[in-house]
Structure 1
Amino acid sequence: MTDTDPRDLGLCPDRLERIDAWMRRYVDEGKLAGLSVHFARRGKTGFARAHGKADIARDRRFDTETIVRIYSMTKPLTSVAVMMLYEEGRFQLDDPLSRFLPDFAEMRVAVGGNRVKLETVPALRPITIRDLLTHTSGLTYGFMEATLVDALYRVHGIDFQTSEHSLADLVARVAKQPLLAQPGAEWNYSVATDVLGHLVAVVSGLPFSEFLRERVLKPLGMHDTDFFVAEDKRERFAANYAFDRTGQLKVYDDSEGSRFLSPRPVTSGGGGLTGTAPDYLRFCRFILNRGELDGVRLLGRKTVELMIANHLPGDMAAMGQPRFSESAYTGIGFGLGFSVMLDPAKAQIVGTPGEVAWGGLASTSFWIDPAEDLAVVLFAQLIPSSALPIRRELRVLTYAALVD
């Protein structure tokens, strides 16, 4: 609950209760162990509710301070770290990545062949920092299991979530693999943001995790967000679930014994953070405020405006056939760390041109709508994020509550 009268924020109290009923229904039907929804409008929290269990076996309640794995919602925070260095004049967005990471100097692109012999050609141009921010670098993810290049990532142990190797070592392994496409030619979700985390470390001279904590998380007051859950916060850490073959919830990653309970050799800028919904709502408000929150400015307003603009020639669907994304492709573009709504009619979902968003593997998501001065955070713990249509349903319910 909040102390703010929703009507003062242009929200209908009765329609907000539809969101509450929707949340309860998913828990009561056994489709989600628990979930929370937070959103802010005009600088104030207009809705903050949680239902269900954070851990069914231990009968722990899912509440507004529950800590979850945010996975790919780490990416926008890493992108902010990159842009902070950009503002310091450390590089330009069209600089070749190899200026800082020489291993990427002579990249090749896969064009055919088989597992025995992969056919490649030289990259037509270098990978740029902007390519990494927009997922147009030609890199990929091994878990997609769709291409020969994906297979090479698996063969060489390129997994920023589970590896026991260092961030620098994994990025060096990435540089040795061929690209999936020519730089700038296609939109492909990838380890690009993990590479950006290493770039932050190289340019700043600080370990990436230290830079993110000291320069981004702490200044924004995101005190429950980190690459691992501290011992004194473990009672608030949720279990992560998946559906078994009968459609029943089963534990995917226990809240006790999870790899997220201790620091790891690799800190994943693409998907390594845990945190709370109120913390992430603070990040969303920081973006809404064009780089400032509660008197703390991390980015200039023009830099944020550049980040939330579409940097693709059109939508993601026009740049090849994306194999996986935390967003729809049609009517949706991509900025520097966020998806960007271009055309709600083409995307076939209610929304506003210019809103930015992203989500995480375990059914977390957020969106920020500057035109409506609105930010929404949805937290659950169910893998994969495509298992239930909760993101799209929440968008409809939320926009239906706007009545001003």
Structure 2
Amino acid sequence: MSRRDFIAAASVAGLLPAVTGTTLADTTQSASTMWAPAKALDAAMDDAVASGRIVGTSVVAAQNGNIVYQRAAGFKDREAREPAGIDDVFRLASMTKPIVCVTALALVDAGRLTIDDPVTRWLPDFRPKLTDGRQPIITIRHLLTHTAGLGYGFLEPEDGSYHRLKISDGLDRSGLSLGENVARIASAPLLFEPGTAWHYSVAIDVLGAVIEQVTGTTLAQAVRAIVTGPLGMTSVDFIASAARPPATPYGDASPEPVRMTEPFTLKFGRSGIVYSPARAFDEAAFFSGGVGMVGTAHDYLRFAEAMRTGGPGIIRPETVAAMTQNAIGDLQVSAGPGFGWGLGVQILLDPAKAGSPVTAGAWNWSGVYGTNFWVDPAKATSVVVLTNTAVAGMTGEFPLAIRRAVYAA
């Protein structure tokens, strides 16, 4: 089925909203605007670039439905002295996850999927076991909330089961199909009884395989038809365009970030992450629902704002509300006290406990290529911060400085 045919078929089946895009009024008049936090944001970006923490970055913010800040700093390609641009494409890594989760939730809204479906309804062979041999039921809810008992290779020691089984985290060029990788995930022992703990994981890659079964098409086609196409997110896809390549990626190092090789290993978590920058152009690579997409800050802002305003034409307001509220009770997430998890995004529950300047009720996520975003419903504000520097653009001083700048005014 062609992309156009699938979009038409999805529309007829009631899977697609009757929208053609999300319009954000652009009230910016220059690189920096009269928005109160603008000067502080400029300073945070300039300091990060001048200090060498970040090579290049693109930041876009909206408030009350208007773009109030947009600026790029640093380099798209440092060695070529190519400056970063506001419409540069970046590797989104785990900022892919919320988009794929919304795709699944749209299928729930359309009655094609239920949140408490066992995964085996759609993937009959996906039956991972606990270490005692028991085979518990894993549901779509468990996948969305990272409570399925699955893991990530970089979160375990180098002799862990995900490494031994050569499970791909979606960032490398494994040569596996999505089905083959999901089979390997199913063969790894579960870390805990589903629903009893939270652990960041490849769950959204498994969810991507479920979406393929529900829609009868590829994950890329389903996401494009259900979310990115209707929102006009033309740059956001699983395959980068050779005519519009993503910013050159760099990895944290001292005294300055180093240009990524192919492949590139960065120590992170309990072991490390193997990056393959060329994967973004590899049409044979499986579509990773967890980390596979590329896109611009402007286009990602369309998604963030659509969800902030109730998911018009994509998912129901009630579904957005469920997605952006804590769905895991008192279970602890890796970010520490003050945070919870919804149906695909992290939720800020207690700013004081979290040590965050952001308002309670805000939701966010980030990516290991150096990206992050957050939505603050109470302030009617969405901010997208994309960099080409892993992982300094995702965690540490730079993202915290950006948040402080926005809330200091």
Name the TM-score, length of structure 2 as normaliser. 0.85
Matched, 1:279 2:296: no
Deviation at 1:308, TM superposition (A): 0.7
Distance in 2 (CA, whole Å) between partners of 1:201 and 1:357 is 26
Distance in 1 (CA, whole Å) between partners of 2:101 and 2:379 is 24
**What's 1:345 paired with?**
352
Deviation at 1:329, TM superposition (A): 2.1
Distance in 2 (CA, whole Å) between partners of 1:359 and 1:225 is 16
1:300-336, Cα deviation, whole Å (9 max, x unpaired): 111111111110112525xxxx4xxxxx221000000
Deviation at 1:265, TM superposition (A): 2.9
Distance in 2 (CA, whole Å) between partners of 1:253 and 1:373 is 40
Q: What letter is aligned with 2:116?
A: D
Structure 2 regions of 5+ residues with no counterpart? Answer: 1-24, 264-275
Matched, 1:301 2:317: yes
224, 241, 254: which is aligned to 2:250?
241
Secondary structure class of the residue paired with 2:54: coil
Secondary structure class of the residue paired with 1:198: helix
**What's 1:61 paired with?**
83
* 8 Å contact from structure 2 (residues 37, 407) kept in 1: no
Distance in 2 (CA, whole Å) between partners of 1:143 and 1:263 is 25
Secondary structure class of the residue paired with 1:349: coil
Deviation at 1:147, TM superposition (A): 8.2
Deviation at 1:198, TM superposition (A): 0.5
Q: What letter is aligned with 1:221?
A: G
**What's 1:122 paired with?**
134
Secondary structure class of the residue paired with 1:231: coil
Secondary structure class of the residue paired with 2:375: strand
**What's 1:291 paired with?**
311
Secondary structure class of the residue paired with 2:374: strand
Distance in 2 (CA, whole Å) between partners of 1:177 and 1:26 is 40
* 8 Å contact from structure 2 (residues 347, 364) kept in 1: yes
Secondary structure class of the residue paired with 2:68: strand
Give the stretch that moved more between structures: 43-52 or 344-353: 344-353
Secondary structure class of the residue paired with 2:365: strand
Deviation at 1:344, TM superposition (A): 0.6
Deviation at 1:384, TM superposition (A): 2.3
* 8 Å contact from structure 1 (residues 68, 238) kept in 2: yes
**What's 2:336 paired with?**
329
Q: Number of paired residues?
A: 367
Runs of 4+ in 1 over 3 A off after TM superposition: 11-15, 253-257, 385-388
Compared CA separation, residues 277 and 254, structure 1 to 2 (3 A): farther
Q: What letter is aligned with 2:201?
A: S
Compared CA separation, residues 308 and 31, structure 1 to 2 (3 A): same
**What's 1:83 paired with?**
105
Matched, 1:165 2:186: no
* 8 Å contact from structure 1 (residues 239, 254) kept in 2: no
Distance in 1 (CA, whole Å) between partners of 2:107 and 2:152 is 26
**What's 2:328 paired with?**
312
Give the stretch that moved more between structures: 130-139 or 12-21: 12-21
Name the TM-score, length of structure 1 as normaliser. 0.86
Compared CA separation, residues 121 and 17, structure 1 to 2 (3 A): same
RMSD: 2.2
**What percent identity do the matched residue pairs reach?**
35
Matched, 1:35 2:47: no
Distance in 2 (CA, whole Å) between partners of 1:387 and 1:202 is 35
Q: What letter is aligned with 2:129?
A: R
Compared CA separation, residues 291 and 213, structure 1 to 2 (3 A): same
Distance in 1 (CA, whole Å) between partners of 2:95 and 2:391 is 14
Compared CA separation, residues 34 and 257, structure 1 to 2 (3 A): closer
Secondary structure class of the residue paired with 2:369: coil
